[in-house]
């Protein structure tokens, strides 16, 4: 990447102060700035670094007032944080803009492949699979028979897509994730024989799934992640689960089979949810909580295991922390009553 300060000012629609011909070749944090780097200042705690940074260009808010000399060129914008995020996205698109099919990739003759795709070394596309335009298939990705991958979707190295899986447009699937593995279901009335899992996984548009996640195919029908769902790393979704639009799930979460989760929910790390439940829209679950019964009221906040209303949990936890003292007081009262009873008897 190589741009001038003036070019970046044009991209971000900012007001430049300093040398317009300054050449920028890298991005950096303001405290680690070096010549040729661009950085930004949004958090007031980092203000002192503006006057000491060696970065060549720093993005700041339009209304920021300088209190000393600055060696870097400055780019004033409405929001330094938003502008730098935009720049990061542009940089990432350039970095990941791979095209071409490696001679070491295998694509079935019966597969349909869109325009401008990238298929890295040892990637595999099975029979009758459908690959959209601008799809990025990194090395060692496996795409099974009859799978569908929508336009502009990226599958990073080592992703495994089982047969009949459908992935929408503009999705990102990170390394090590498996979509469409069998649901965990056995029949105890028939010598625990495996129950065939003949459904599939459906991932709608604009979904991002972190590294090393496992999303099981349905027994019948589909396991579904609706539009805009965002998963962190190490999440397991069991068969026939449905996750509503724009729901966020932090690392190491588990959802058991056939549970239905609503829209715009936010689950912190290590949240576990029992199977065959309903979770209402806009629900928030704090870290390490366990959901053992359905949540029917939208917009609630829950914590604990088993989880219940967060405000009630915090009050109950205060009493829990005081249990030792309460037990000591009860023990002392029992002793007093015993002594009083013995005295009365004599």
Q: Helices 310-321 and 323-345 meet at what angle, rounded to 10? A: 50
pLDDT digits (tens, 9 = 90+) for 170-223: 999 999 999 999 999 898 888 889 999 999 999 999 999 999 999 999 999 999
Concerning whether 236 is annotated as a catalytic residue, the answer is: no
Domain map (residue ranges) of the chain: 3-95, 100-312, 316-345
d(CA 161, CA 158): 10
Per-residue model confidence (pLDDT) at position 282: 98
Fold of 3-95: 3.40.1390
Q: What is the 3-state secondary structure (H, E, C) of 21-79?
A: CCEECEECCHHHCCCCEEEECCCHHHHHHHCCCCCCEEEEECCCCCCCCCCCEEEEECC
pLDDT digits (tens, 9 = 90+) for 86-138: 998 888 888 888 889 999 999 999 999 999 999 999 999 999 999 999 999 99
> What average pLDDT does the segment 37-64 reach?
96
Q: Is residue 251 scored above 90 in pLDDT?
A: yes
> What average pLDDT does the segment 52-72 reach?
96
pLDDT digits (tens, 9 = 90+) for 280-308: 999 999 999 999 999 999 999 999 999 99
Per-residue model confidence (pLDDT) at position 346: 59
Is 3.40.50.300 the CATH classification of the domain at 100-312?
no
DSSP 8-state symbol, 188: G
Catalytic site residue from 236, 239, 276, 319: 239
Q: Considering the chain, what is the average pLDDT of its residues?
A: 95
d(CA 91, CA 297): 42
Per-residue model confidence (pLDDT) at position 91: 84
Q: Is residue 228 scored above 70 in pLDDT?
A: yes
For the beta carbon of residue 221, count every other beta carbon within 10 angstroms.
Answer: 15
pLDDT digits (tens, 9 = 90+) for 134-168: 999 999 999 999 999 999 999 999 999 999 999 99
């Amino acid at each position: 990447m190589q741009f001038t300060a003036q070019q970046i000012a044009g991209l971000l629609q900012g007001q430049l102060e300093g040398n317009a011909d300054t050449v920028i070749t890298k991005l950096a944090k303001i405290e680690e700035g070096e010549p040729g780097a661009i950085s930004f200042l949004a958090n007031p705690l980092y203000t002192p670094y503006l006057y000491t940074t060696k970065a060549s260009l720093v993005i700041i808010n339009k209304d920021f007032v300088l209190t000393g000399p600055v060696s870097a060129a400055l780019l004033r914008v409405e929001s330094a944080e938003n502008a730098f995020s935009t720049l990061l996205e542009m940089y990432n698109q350039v970095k990941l803009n791979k095209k071409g099919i490696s001679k070491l990739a295998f694509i079935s003759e019966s597969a349909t492949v869109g325009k401008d795709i990238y298929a890295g070394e040892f990637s595999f596309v099975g029979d009758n699979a459908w690959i959209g335009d601008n799809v990025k298939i990194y090395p060692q990705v496996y795409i099974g028979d009859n799978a569908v991958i929508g336009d502009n979707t990226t599958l990073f190295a080592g992703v495994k897509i089982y047969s009949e899986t459908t992935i929408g447009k503009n999705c990102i699937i990170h390394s090590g994730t498996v979509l469409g593995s069998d649901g965990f279901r056995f029949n105890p009335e028939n010598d625990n024989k495996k129950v065939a899992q003949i459904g599939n996984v459906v991932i709608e548009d604009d979904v991002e799934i972190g590294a090393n996640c496992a999303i099981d195919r349905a027994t019948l029908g589909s396991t579904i992640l609706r539009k805009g769902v965002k998963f962190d790393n190490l999440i397991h979704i069991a068969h026939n689960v449905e996750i509503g639009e724009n729901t966020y799930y932090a690392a190491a979460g588990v959802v058991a089979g056939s549970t239905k989760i609503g829209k715009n929910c936010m689950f912190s790390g290590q949240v576990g949810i029992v199977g065959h439940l309903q979770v209402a829209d806009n629900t928030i679950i704090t870290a390490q909580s366990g959901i053992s019964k359905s949540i029917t009221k939208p917009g609630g906040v829950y914590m604990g295991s088993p989880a219940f209303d967060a405000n009630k949990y915090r009050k109950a936890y205060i009493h829990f922390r005081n249990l030792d003292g309460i037990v000591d007081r009860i023990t002392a009262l029992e002793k007093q009553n015993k002594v009083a009873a013995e005295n009365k008897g004599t």
